[in-house]
Amino acid sequence: MTTPVLEKIDALKVKIDACRPLDVHLLKQVREYFRIGMTYTSNALEGNSLTETETKIVIEDGMTIGGKPVRDHLEALGHSEAYDLLFRLAKNRDITEANVKELHRLFYYRIDVKQAGKYRNRRVIITGTDFIPPAPDRIRELMESFIAGLSEARAKHHPVEFSAIIHKELVTIHPFIDGNGRAARLLMNLALLQAGYPVAIIPPVLRRDYLNTLNKTHKGDDKPFINFIAGLCHESTKEYLRLLEG
């Protein structure tokens, strides 16, 4: 499906591609810029109290922030490691089940090493929604089916649509005991990077819109969520081009 927003994103991508190959130092700076933004926003959506500046200090300077929970620091460091993995995996065309598990493991091993990268073995309840995640004994089968269908879904949809769809699919399966939202956003951005698009960042100020549109997917309406993600991709692509041209 082609929409005006997707057309705008692709027009911006053409301009970005015209700048390639990027200067290695500029590319590093741009990646670090998005590392901080993506780590801060993805963690903040889940209640992490670190500000963007504090996230930068923890990741780049290795310093702790007085009065902030230890877990918040560990989440910042873990997400930063998972961010690095995105770019290594982006060199491949496919997404495997092992990729999904490793993204979660890197983010989560400092929090709970026994659960990091492992499928949950008990039921979970998600507050603020009437959605009930699948029973734990169905997760392996659902994940295998999800991974098996990725190639067909990638061929069928625009890359931005595909990234939104796999995000909602992983959240719907809810395979991990915790960190499913962050794992889904990492997976979404892996798909974008593999297709040559910048990562998409979801500002905490849009948390309500994010959750509302995501909840609609559980009731069979994917369009609002896809449109929401497309809008964010448009903003990220504009920002990426601004940094290149700046």
Render each residue's pLDDT in the chain as its tens digit; 246 residues.
679 999 999 999 999 999 999 999 999 999 999 999 999 999 999 999 999 999 999 999 999 999 999 999 999 999 999 999 999 999 999 999 999 999 999 999 999 999 999 999 999 998 888 899 999 999 999 999 999 999 999 999 999 999 999 999 999 999 999 999 999 999 999 999 999 999 999 999 999 999 999 999 999 999 999 999 999 999 999 999 999 997
Which helix (H) or strand (E) segment holds residue 17: the answer is helix 4-18
Q: Residue 149 sits in which domain range? A: 4-245
Which residues are known to be catalytic? 174
92 exposed, middle or buried (CB, 10 Å; 0-12, 13-18, 19+)?
A: exposed
Q: What is the CA radius of gyration of the chain?
A: 17
Domain total in the chain: 1
pLDDT on residue 127: 85
Domain of 164: which CATH number?
Answer: 1.10.3290.10
pLDDT on residue 1: 64
Q: Per the confidence metrics, is the pTM higher than 0.95?
A: yes
pLDDT on residue 246: 79
